[in-house]
A and B are shown apart, each in its own frame.
Chain A
């Protein structure tokens, strides 16, 4: 991963409270897992999406940044939370809203 890309990722996750590296964008997700994650998060507020399909270097770069092998990847207030399974689990446990509220 180039230093520029790492800087960009760090800037993105610090600039928005909820960031999802996803396939497609929040309005038009192009993968069921990305769609599910965004839908659950959007129930509580806006989501900043970054489309990895539009940026091949980001698709690999974000996986390297987190050491996490799958897309989507969710960040809340700059902290990596996980993928769609973890967001769903948090929602089922009733913990997602509180996590988003800080």
Chain B
């Protein structure tokens, strides 16, 4: 059983300066939703942005302990304009 905080910690460690929000969709610790914005995402396609987030979670995805991850990625500019989005302090 995974905690959202553990996924957030891994993503932040791999993407310094990232804004990360992870939510447990089912309360069962294996289906999550993540929204991630990172400094390096500017100029990257969606494929590469998603790969950058999957990277630090790959062992969890491969083992099946992370069964599903609905993922949305943003540049920091796009993130700022998201309505109602909580912001980590800079």
- Taking a contact as CB atoms under 8 Å apart, the answer to whether B61 and A86 are in contact is no
How long is the Cα–Cα vector from A89 to B50 in the complex, in angstroms?
12
Q: Is residue B72 contacting chain A, with contact meaning CB distance below 8 A?
A: yes
In the complex, per-residue mask of B50-71: 1 if CB is within 8 Å of any chain A CB, else 0: 1100100110011000001111
- Interface residues of A, CB < 8 Å — how many? 12
Q: Is residue B46 contacting chain A, with contact meaning CB distance below 8 A?
A: yes
Count of inter-chain pairs, beta carbons less than 8 A: 29
- Taking a contact as CB atoms under 8 Å apart, the answer to whether B62 and A69 are in contact is yes
The 7 closest A-B pairs by CB, nearest first: A69-B61, A85-B71, A86-B46, A69-B54, A82-B47, A69-B58, A85-B70
A-B contact pairs, 9 of them (CB 8 A): A68-B51, A69-B54, A69-B57, A69-B62, A80-B47, A81-B47, A83-B50, A86-B50, A89-B72
In the complex, per-residue mask of B38-50: 1 if CB is within 8 Å of any chain A CB, else 0: 0000000011001
User: What is A's interface to B at a CB cutoff of 8 Å?
Assistant: 33, 67-70, 80-83, 85-86, 89
Partner of A33, one of B51, B61, B68: B68
How long is the Cα–Cα vector from A12 to B50 in the complex, in angstroms?
24
How long is the Cα–Cα vector from A36 to B48 in the complex, in angstroms?
22
- Taking a contact as CB atoms under 8 Å apart, the answer to whether A70 and B47 are in contact is no
How long is the Cα–Cα vector from A69 to B58 in the complex, in angstroms?
7
Interface of B is mostly: helix
User: What is B's interface to A at a CB cutoff of 8 Å?
Assistant: 46-47, 50-51, 54, 57-58, 61-62, 68-72
CB closest residue in chain A, given B34: A85
- Shortest CB distance B73–A (Å): 9
How long is the Cα–Cα vector from A85 to B46 in the complex, in angstroms?
10
- Taking a contact as CB atoms under 8 Å apart, the answer to whether A85 and B50 are in contact is yes
- Shortest CB distance A84–B (Å): 8
Partner of A68, one of B46, B54, B57, B69: B54
